[in-house]
Amino acid sequence: MAPRFAWRLRIMFPAWISCALLLTSPCGSLRVLREEISLLADDKDPKCFTRADKDLTCFWKGSNITSYDFYYEYEGEEEKKCTLTHQRVDPDTGLHVCSFPPEDVYLFVEAQIKVTESGTNEPVYERVVNVENQVLLDPPTDVSVSLNGKPQQLKVRWTAPRPGNLQYEIQYSTDKAQAKVSEPQSLVHTLYGLSPGEKYNIAVRAKPDGSSRDGFWSAVVPRPADEIHLNCFTPYLQYVICNWNSEEMEKDTQYTLYYQSRNGDWEVCDHSDVTNTCTFQGWNSSDIIVTVNASSRHQNHTFYKEPISMNRMVLTAPPKHLAGEVNDGKLRHQWEPAVAELADHMVYQIRYSLDNHSGWKFFRYDPLPNPTPETGRPFNYVTILN
């Protein structure tokens, strides 16, 4: 079964420690099946999974021009037909999905399911499914890594994705090697024999232990922040403002932005007053790590942004107090910087267009250091020839 990991952590041992906080929610809708397709690659068709024992979703890939019927039957009950939904994968292939009604999901009872072509009733797939053996867990949460005071060791902790008998696997790797620890006995495990100075990727995954439930390895691979157009900037090197676009997500999606504070702890950014925008206090001493969790009734995704530095994402307001005058065919234009503290670090782009000409002309202006006008206020000026 394809691995399904909670989070990949970038660890420099023993110099510094990093971890991630990942919230989870039940999911099983058509919108998240791109992930399930890879995780259930080794399962029979139609592939089936449950998130919380009260749901069951089955799907398969088939022709876009063929209509299918999906039937299921429990022993002693009448056969029922499922209403299918369809998602186009490519010009020739589609994803066909059956989401069982909650009242038709039973534990410890075999379900006979079959797929036929509509009209001809030609059989396509048949299989027997037990819901309790098709569990697809959310990944372990609150994954953290810490030093334990001993050389060449790291301690990994996590929280179980649900109550019950579960088994875990930790994978850790560098650019040179990879190793794993199968079935740790508790929710904390110490990794031994690590190489000093190496950067490690660490991941934890979970699945039922097979005693009363069985299923597939869990994983959530962080998605790039570009997918929601996450953008962060600072107007004056004190606060960081992050905003993102929610058009690609479900309407009821709730967003939570986390940032790694100066002392290494993860903090939640409060954005209750403004939708899809969050502001938090920044600092220049180290890079800032930002993640956004998008959670709804049917999906849960984490979007990861590469570490950012405040002095590399400055976006000030436009210059102020603009003024200009024409003398002997020359335009003398002057202005004040939006942030006086950044005056010595600013360059400007000026654009202009002449009468009866289409388009704009651009040039870059590097101001003189600390110019002082007659008004006593710092400003910048440039002369444009006609």
Q: Is 3 contained in some domain?
A: no
Q: Is 251 contained in some domain?
A: yes
What would the mean pLDDT of 85-90 be, rounded to a whole number? 82
Q: Indicate the residue among 312, 329, 359 that finishes a domain.
A: 312
What is the number of structural domains in the chain? 4
C-beta of residue 280 within 8 angstroms of C-beta of residue 239 = yes
Q: Is 111 contained in some domain?
A: yes
d(CA 58, CA 96): 8
What would the mean pLDDT of 331-359 be, rounded to a whole number? 78
Rg of the chain over all Cα atoms, to the nearest angstrom: 29
Closest by CA position to 171, among listed 184, 161, 162: 184
Q: What is the pLDDT of residue 60?
A: 93
Q: How many CB atoms lie within 10 A of CB 249?
A: 19
Closest by CA position to 203, among listed 118, 148, 139: 139
Q: How far is CA 296 from CA 40, 272, 299, in A?
A: 22, 17, 5
Q: Is 271 contained in some domain?
A: yes
Average pLDDT value over all residues in the chain: 76
CATH number for the domain including 176?
2.60.40.10
Give residue-wise pLDDT tens across range 136-165.
Answer: 887 787 777 777 767 778 888 888 888 878
Task: Decide if pLDDT at 103 tops 70.
Answer: yes
Q: What is the pLDDT of residue 377?
A: 43
d(CA 58, CA 101): 12
Q: Indicate the residue among 162, 187, 216 that finishes a domain.
A: 216
The answer on 291 and 307 residing in a single domain is yes
How does residue 227 score in pLDDT terms, banded at 50, 70 and 90? confident
User: 271 or 22: whose pLDDT is higher?
Assistant: 271
Q: What is the pLDDT of residue 385?
A: 55
In 336-375, which positions are buried (b, 16+ CB within 10 angstroms) versus exposed (e)?
bbebeeebeebeeeeeeeeeeeeeeeeeeeebeeeeeeee
Task: Decide if pLDDT at 190 tops 50.
Answer: yes
What would the mean pLDDT of 177-205 be, rounded to a whole number? 77
How does residue 216 score in pLDDT terms, banded at 50, 70 and 90? low
d(CA 249, CA 229): 12
The answer on 201 and 122 residing in a single domain is no
How does residue 364 score in pLDDT terms, banded at 50, 70 and 90? confident
Q: Is 281 contained in some domain?
A: yes
What would the mean pLDDT of 70-78 be, rounded to a whole number? 92
The answer on 125 and 38 residing in a single domain is yes
3-state DSSP call for residue 37?
helix
Task: Decide if pLDDT at 310 tops 70.
Answer: yes
d(CA 249, CA 78): 38
Close Cβ partners of 5 (under 8 Å, ≥ 6 residues apart): 139, 171, 203, 204, 205, 218, 219, 220, 221
Task: Decide if pLDDT at 254 tops 70.
Answer: yes
**Running DSSP on this structure, what letter comes out for residue 281?**
E
The answer on 206 and 245 residing in a single domain is no
The answer on 168 and 252 residing in a single domain is no
How does residue 129 score in pLDDT terms, banded at 50, 70 and 90? very high
The answer on 259 and 115 residing in a single domain is no
Q: What is the pLDDT of residue 219?
A: 54
Q: What is the pLDDT of residue 383?
A: 60
Q: Is 4 contained in some domain?
A: no
How does residue 80 score in pLDDT terms, banded at 50, 70 and 90? very high
Q: Indicate the residue among 189, 216, 243 that finishes a domain.
A: 216
Closest by CA position to 181, among listed 199, 208, 202, 164: 202
User: 363 or 77: whose pLDDT is higher?
Assistant: 77
How does residue 218 score in pLDDT terms, banded at 50, 70 and 90? low
Domain extent for 334: 320-385
The answer on 297 and 251 residing in a single domain is yes
The answer on 157 and 86 residing in a single domain is no
The answer on 160 and 13 residing in a single domain is yes
The answer on 206 and 188 residing in a single domain is yes
Q: Is 252 contained in some domain?
A: yes
Task: Decide if pLDDT at 322 tops 90.
Answer: no
The answer on 205 and 269 residing in a single domain is no
How does residue 25 score in pLDDT terms, banded at 50, 70 and 90? very low
Give residue-wise pLDDT tens across range 3-17.
Answer: 444 333 333 322 222
Task: Decide if pLDDT at 374 tops 70.
Answer: no
The answer on 179 and 130 residing in a single domain is no
Give residue-wise pLDDT tens across range 47-63.
Answer: 999 988 889 999 999 98
Q: Is 23 contained in some domain?
A: no
